[in-house]
Amino acid sequence: MSSFDFTHLEKSVIEMSKIIRKPDFLTYFKKFSLVDATNSQVTLGVLSAFHKDNLSKKFYSEIKQAIKTELPSVELVDFVVDDRIEIRPETEVVDCRMLLKKSEKQTKKEQVQGVEVVQGINSRIISDRYQLSNFIVGPSTQLAHAACEAVARKPGASYNPLYLYGNVGLGKTHLLQGTANAIRSKYKNLRVVYTTTDKFITDYVSSVKSHSVDKLQDKFRQVDVLVLDDVQFLAGKKQTQEALYNIFNILYEAGKQIILSGDRPPKELTELEARLQSRFEWGITVDVGAPDYETRLAILQEKARAREFLLPQDVAEFIAENVTENVREIEGVLNQVIAEYDLRGTPPTVENIAMRLSKLAITPLTASTTTSRTLRSTTTCSYEDLIQTVSLHFGVEIRTLLSEDRRKENMIPRQVAMYLLKNRLNFTYERIGNIFSGRNHTAVMYSCKKLEQIMKKDQQVVHELNIIRDKLGI
Ligand code: ADP
Ligand code: MG
């Protein structure tokens, strides 16, 4: 039988980076060497006693699980402090951070490539996870879903364009991709292109650089169904708007279907040219609203079923009652519940979910005695409280605080809010990004770092931050 080798080690570290929360991974996973290995036992060298302790106590089962995906016969993993780790050649040491960066780059590249539908246009339908049939319909999404179905039945015939709008995490992308998937399977020869607005902007900008704008427009001319997600990102991109306007007209006049989504109704896209705004309203505009309790419960049960995970009824109800903001958050909680079960064998109970929610700073509403006791001792401040307090303190409207607005006077209040969410409420960069208009997590990370730099130089900012912390008791 083969024994565990260095390539196995590299691959299992990539696996670890997927199952361990990123902040934990970055803190505790630094360097590994392979000190000793057989087919059933692996001894890993680490930097220090601190790492040895933490890795063996906190992450043992995850590490073992990752190693076993490479070599299933491994039963025992242990750690020793490897004094020579810093002077060993590169080929004998896994640098976890570097490896993570490399693998992230790789995945990004794969995702961005998408499927080439028309020569030179990549459709980014990456998953058939999103179907109209696995979208759970509730009162707030009934109309949107029905419109998507009508469009999927006969693209170009009924509602053109179809424009869906709503807050982040409520299912717009799911509906858009579901519609695109339905059309693709029903009309095999139609060329369906799904693209994000970000991608569209990038494509346009590079066509300008290479003097091939005409070519880009010609390519879009061949599209039968154009699906464009998150058009609010066109704000301030005048030339791209112009290009889209032309493409829109060509497709529309040829009776081709156009499907769009945005975070608000066309009328409120004030930074878009009026003629584009009005085009977006030509067909039908439908709101994708937040699901009510019954729908949240049904979504949760459906997602659990799809993952073949048995979720006890009381737990499902508890989550549905307390995670009310958006569906992505509901999925996030479910993912964690499943991971806890798979990795640690912890079964989902209302108590341990309540603990988890309180760590995520979601304040449960349910007053079941034991849980509310646990919660009161751990959670005092929700993220809504935090945002509101920062908004009042600096006199910046909540809407502006959360928006993409880049005016200088709003930068520090926004950075303060992000910084506190990260450092006092332990929110992930991703989650903060979602709250702030769906920003990318790296943008959030940058803002937090920026504030740290400012605080080093400017005592006033530190003072303001402390006042806010006092008000919130965090
Ligand atoms: P948006 O594009 O509006 O930000 P997404 O479409 O990305 O939201 O939805 C976030 C997640 O929630 C996705 O994984 C999606 O599948 C899921 N989701 C949202 N609404 C529903 C629903 N009604 N039924 C099933 N899944 C849903
Ligand atoms: Mg989306």
How does pLDDT run across 38-70, given as a tens digit for each residue?
889 999 999 999 899 999 999 999 999 999 988
Convert 20-43 to b/e letters by CB count within 10 Å (16 or more is b): beeeebeebbbbbbbbebeeeebb
Closest C-alpha to 407, from 276, 236, 238: 236
15 contact partners, CB below 8 Å, separation of at least 6: 65, 66, 69, 70
Distance between Cα 336 and ligand 2 center (Å): 21
Token reading at 146: 């029905």
Residue of the CA atom closest to atom 21 of ligand 1: 171
Separation of CA 368 and ligand 2 centre (Å): 35
Could you tell which of 173, 174, 176, 194 is best to mutate to test the pocket of ligand 1, judged by most ligand atoms within 8 Å of the CB? Answer: 174
CA pair distance 210, 134, nearest whole angstrom: 42
Cα within 13 Å of Cα(393), Cβ side: 22
Instruction: Sheet containing 93-95: give its strands across.
Output: 76-81, 41-46, 31-37, 93-95
pLDDT of the residue at 108: 65
CA dihedral 280, 282, 283, 287 (to 10 degrees): 50
Tens digit of pLDDT for each residue in 355-410?
877 766 665 544 333 333 333 334 467 888 899 889 988 988 888 899 888 888 89
Pocket-testing residue among 133, 168, 303, 328, ligand 1, by greatest number of atoms within 8 A of Cβ: 328
Other beta carbons less than 10 A from residue 374's beta carbon: 16
Q: Which two tokens stand for residue 413?
A: 């209040």
Look up the pTM and report it.
0.59
Distance CA(318)–CA(354), nearest Å, equals: 8
Ligand nearest to the CA of 170: 1
Alpha carbon distances (Å) from 228 to 107, 123, 196, 290: 22, 10, 6, 22
Q: pLDDT class for 463, splitting at 50, 70, 90?
A: confident
For residue 323, which ligand has an atom nearest its CA?
1
Among the bound ligands, name the one nearest to the CA of residue 165. Answer: 1
Strand locations in 106-156 (E)? 115-118, 121-123
The binding-site residues of ligand 1, defined as CB within 6 angstroms of any ligand atom, are 135-136, 141, 166, 168-174, 299, 327-328, 331
pLDDT at 136: 96
How would you classify the pairing of strands 93-95 and 31-37? antiparallel
